[in-house]
Amino acid sequence: MNRRVPLKADTPAASSAPERPTNVLIVGVGGQGVIMVSKVLASLCQELGYQVKQSEVHGMAKRGGAVFSHVRFGHTVYSPTILEGDADVLVALEWAEGLRWLPYLNQDSGTFIADTQHIVPPFACRNRIRGADSGYSRETVHEVMESVANSFALDALQIATELGVPKAANTVLLGTLSTALEFPVDAWKGVISKFVPPKTVEANTRAFEAGHEWALTFDRETRLKEWQEHTARFSAEIARSDVAVTSTLEITEAWCKGCDICVKFCPERCLAMDERQIAVLTDPDRCTGCRICEWLCPDLAIAVHTPASPVEA
């Protein structure tokens, strides 16, 4: 793996200071452990004698909203935030969040580490069929890996699940991150053990090692090929599932009182009020069958009919 960040762990602050601090941006969605990852990194840097600044936004965290955390460390750090195009490492715990923050990565030398896991916000759901592509963040892993030189896309959730600790996906990514920064592996493990619940120290250590190992044995060419095949398979699935989703919407006009709730809440903006103040479906093709209108209609005037789940191919 490309060890880009030129820092010597043994002689940090005392040695000739690096010109600029190292910038690590960690992003994901609420509940994934973005803050835990950034705290581990920040404390590690602090333990090793660096000056560290960390700033985070996790306003909507509880509801699965976007969470990001900037960690900057070096001899002297002034601003706590990373500028666009200035992140040395971008760690994404969720794929779409990773793409959202890509412009922050240093385009020439930045390292992109991302979990390929997709967490689709309810309002972006276009396809209710299990396993089908959501249409959310259309860029495929293959495309991104081709365009970002130092990119490491891994299924951290899968790795953690295989170890029996799905919650430790963030620790797997820490393992991968550890190969991009030249800090001693034992120091990483020590800090992690302080941040996770005592009972899970062992599991998290294994998760860390798995992520570390994954990066060390990373072979770009093989991975690219794998993802290419994956993309091809996925496109075929999308083509098939698009045909299968044919939800229909039934509005009982006699029951509608024109409260406008469905019209205002429909994420696809495919409902409208007609001149009689009754809700009508104006654009059936855009309706995804998400049922938000059905759930919120106080007059039980909307029914979304979806076909039974398709037979698994």
Partner 1 sequence: MSDVAQNQFNIREYIRENLFPHFMCPGCGHGIALRALLNAVHDLGIDKNQLAIVSGIGCSGRVGAYIDANTFHTTHGRPLAFATGLKLARPDLEVIVITGDGDCLAIGGNHLIHACRRNLNLTCLMLNNEVYGMTGGQVSPTTSADRFTTTTQYGNHEPIFDACKLAEGAGAGFVGREMTLQTPALRDLIKEAIAHDGFSFIEVLSDCTEIFGRKNDMGESAEMVLAQKADFRSVSYGTEIGETFKPRGMKTGVLLRDDRPEYAMAYKRHNEKKLKQ
Residues at the interface with partner 1 (CB under 8 A):
252, 254-261, 263-265, 295-301, 303, 306-309
Q: Alpha-carbon distance 298 to 31, whole Å?
A: 32
Token pair in block for residue 226: 């794998």
Q: Does 268 bind ligand SF4 (CB under 6 A)?
A: yes
Name the pairing type of β-strands 150-154 and 66-74.
Answer: unpaired
Q: Residue 130 or 199: which CB sits closer to partner 1? A: 130
Q: Does 92 bind ligand SF4 (CB under 6 A)?
A: no
Q: Which residues are paired to 280 by β-bridges?
A: 272
What, of ligand SF4, partner 1, none, does residue 48 touch, CB below 5 to 8 Å by kind? none
Which of residues 201, 288, 311, 312 is near ligand SF4 by CB under 6 A? 288
What, of ligand SF4, partner 1, none, does residue 86 touch, CB below 5 to 8 Å by kind? none
Q: Alpha-carbon distance 271 to 281, whole Å?
A: 5
Q: Does 56 bind ligand SF4 (CB under 6 A)?
A: no
Q: Residue 41 or 301: which CB sits closer to ligand SF4? A: 301
Residue 105 DSSP symbol: B
Q: Is 208 exposed, middle or buried (0-12, 13-18, 19+ CB in 10 A)?
A: buried
H-type alpha helices, the chain: 34-47, 95-101, 141-147, 156-162, 169-178, 185-195, 201-216, 220-244, 261-265, 292-296
Please report how close the Cβ of residue 57 comes to partner 1 at its closest, in angstroms. Answer: 16
What, of ligand SF4, partner 1, none, does residue 302 touch, CB below 5 to 8 Å by kind? ligand SF4
Q: Residue 11 or 252: which CB sits closer to partner 1? A: 252
Please report how close the Cβ of residue 96 comes to partner 1 at its closest, in angstroms. Answer: 23
Please report how close the Cβ of residue 253 comes to partner 1 at its closest, in angstroms. Answer: 10
Torsion of CA 74, 75, 79, 80, to 10 degrees: 40
**Nearby residues of 239 by Cβ (< 8 Å), 6 or more positions away:** none
Which of residues 1, 259, 280, 303 is near ligand SF4 by CB under 6 A? 259
Binding site for ligand SF4 (CB under 6 A): 249, 251, 256-262, 266, 268, 270-271, 279, 287-293, 297, 299, 301-302, 304
